[in-house]
Chains A and B, each alone.
Chain A
Amino acid sequence: MIGRLIPILAFLLLGVLLAVGLTIADRKTELPSPLIGKPMPDFSLPVLGQNELVMTRSDLLGEPFLLNVWASWCVTCRVEHPLIEKLAASGELRIVGLNYRDQPEDALAWLQQFGNPYALNLADVSGRTAIDFGVYAAPETFLVDADGTIVFKHIGALTEEVIAEEILSRLDEWKPGDQVAMYIKPARSTGPSE
């Protein structure tokens, strides 16, 4: 009786495993970042094309912003570029570029060719700052709140859905009048990204 049930149970278990595996298959190369809910790392980087102008973490704080890691050699960055331009044009939030492992002249030419939606671009030529941000594949995008806490990270090209559901929806919650305590939502950090 129990002996006969074992193959059926084993089959069901295998089915469940495969179903779970298939549904998360397209996301399995995306790793949850340990930086969610933590302060954005400190850095000291020149502004792209203006080597004498060096900026640090505290220069960026005060209001929420999007930190977009990109490079002129990154093909996927070109794919998401129109969406970033659209988001920048909407005026919803500042978009700061982190130009990753790039030659400044290539990066500037790229912006000239495709348009520059960035309020500011930081040049991380060596890629050392990107290591502190846990970057492993451009493009990557971080949503940082006014206090400098990383609230959300997206790996790969941004999509309309991600912008609406993960970025703009959070901005709505932060609109003036809300308590500062609203800024940090621990439930989000352990959310759908397993």
Chain B
Amino acid sequence: MRIRGWLFTGLLVLVNTCFGSAEPLLFSSEELEQRYLELTQELRCLVCQNQNLADSDAPLAQDLRQEIHTMLESGQSNSQIKSFLVDRYGDFVLYRPPVGGNTLMLWLVPLLLLIAGAGVVFAVVRRYNRLPAEESAPTSRPAELFANENKD
């Protein structure tokens, strides 16, 4: 019970430092506000690294949201804002980093795993299909297995 209390307190502290962005930002147009929401969704907070800028309440995230707001209001494009942040913090601020260089692995490995998985499935299915052909009709195989089990 005591442990649970501590865990809960710890969680509250975490929630306190990372969540809840509420500083009021006024936008001159709805389009800018929409772009602000999109940008802060796909940019990472560097302090709470598994949160985006929109969700994080770390002081740096507040500063960066303010900065993005100012840049949007001064007419800068989304890519200008992104490269402003990449120049300072690296590709890591982007939840969708560009393909190439040191991010190549990040993009290729899921694809390779998919291909490898498909290969395994293909191999298993082919072996399964081949085995019964040597014995009898494929459909009778499960029944045979049950029959053998019952004998033991």
* Contact digits for B26-70, partner A, Cβ 8 Å, 1 yes 0 no: 000000000000000000001101000000000110011001000
User: B63 and A29: CB pair below 8 A?
Assistant: no
Q: Which residue of A lies closest to B61 (CB)?
A: A136
Whether, in the assembled complex, A34 has its beta carbon less than 8 Å from a beta carbon of chain B, the answer is yes
Interface size for A (C-beta < 8 A) is 20
A156 interfacial contact with B, CB 8 Å:
no
CB distance from B63 to the nearest CB of A (A): 5
The reply to whether A101 and B88 contact each other, CB–CB distance below 8 Å, is no
User: By the criterion CB–CB under 8 Å, are B102 and A194 in contact?
Assistant: yes
- A75 at interface, CB cutoff 8 A: no
- Chain A 147-190 per-residue mask, 1 if CB under 8 angstroms from chain B, else 0: 00000000000000000000000000000000000000000000
CB pair A31–B92 under 8 Å, yes or no, is yes
- Kindly state whether residue B99 has any CB partner on chain A within 8 Å: no
> Min CB distance, A15 to chain B, in Å?
17
Query: Could you tell me which residues of chain A, from 32 to 61, have a CB within 8 Å of some CB in chain B?
Result: 32-35
Interface mask (B65-100 → A, CB under 8 Å = 1, otherwise 0): 001000000000000000000111110100000000
Is the CB of B114 closer than 8 A to any CB of chain A? no
Q: List, in ascending order, chain B residues with CB within 8 A of A115's CB.
A: none
Asked if A127 and B102 make an inter-chain contact with CB atoms under 8 angstroms apart, the answer reads no
Chain A residues with Cβ below 8 Å from B102 are 194
- Whether, in the assembled complex, B104 has its beta carbon less than 8 Å from a beta carbon of chain A, the answer is no
CA distance A5 to B40 in the complex (A): 47
> Are A35 and B88 interface neighbours, CB within 8 A?
yes
Chain B residues with a Cβ closer than 8 Å to the other chain, count: 18
Least Cβ distance of B65 to chain A in Å? 12
Give, as a whole number of angstroms, the nearest-CB distance from B151 to chain A.
29
Residue in contact with B88 in the complex, picked from A32, A127, A133, A137, CB distance below 8 Å: A133
Across the two chains, which residue of chain B brings its CB closest to A38? Answer: B87
Known: A3-B123, A136-B46, A136-B47. A33 touches B59 (CB 8 A): no
Q: From residue 19 to 39 of chain A, which have CB atoms closer than 8 A to chain B?
A: 29, 31-35
Chain A hits for B87, CB < 8 A: 34
Shortest CB distance A93–B (Å): 25
Q: List residues of chain B with CB within 8 A of the CB of A127.
A: 59-60, 63
Nearest chain A residue, comparing its CB with the CB of B102? A194
Interchain nearest-CB distance for B53 vs A (Å): 12
Contact between B63 and A136, CB atoms less than 8 A apart:
no
B46 is contacted by which of A31, A35, A132 (Cβ under 8 Å)? A31
Bound CA span A100–B105, Å? 36
Verify A131–B123 contact, CB threshold 8 A.
no
List residues of B whose CB falls within 8 A of some A CB: 46-47, 49, 59-60, 63-64, 67, 86-90, 92, 102, 120, 123, 127
28 A-B contacts (beta carbon < 8 Å): A3-B123, A3-B127, A6-B120, A31-B46, A31-B89, A31-B90, A31-B92, A32-B90, A34-B86, A34-B88, A101-B59, A126-B63, A127-B60, A127-B63, A128-B63, A131-B63, A131-B64, A131-B67, A131-B88, A133-B88, A134-B88, A134-B89, A135-B60, A136-B46, A136-B60, A136-B89, A137-B47, A194-B102
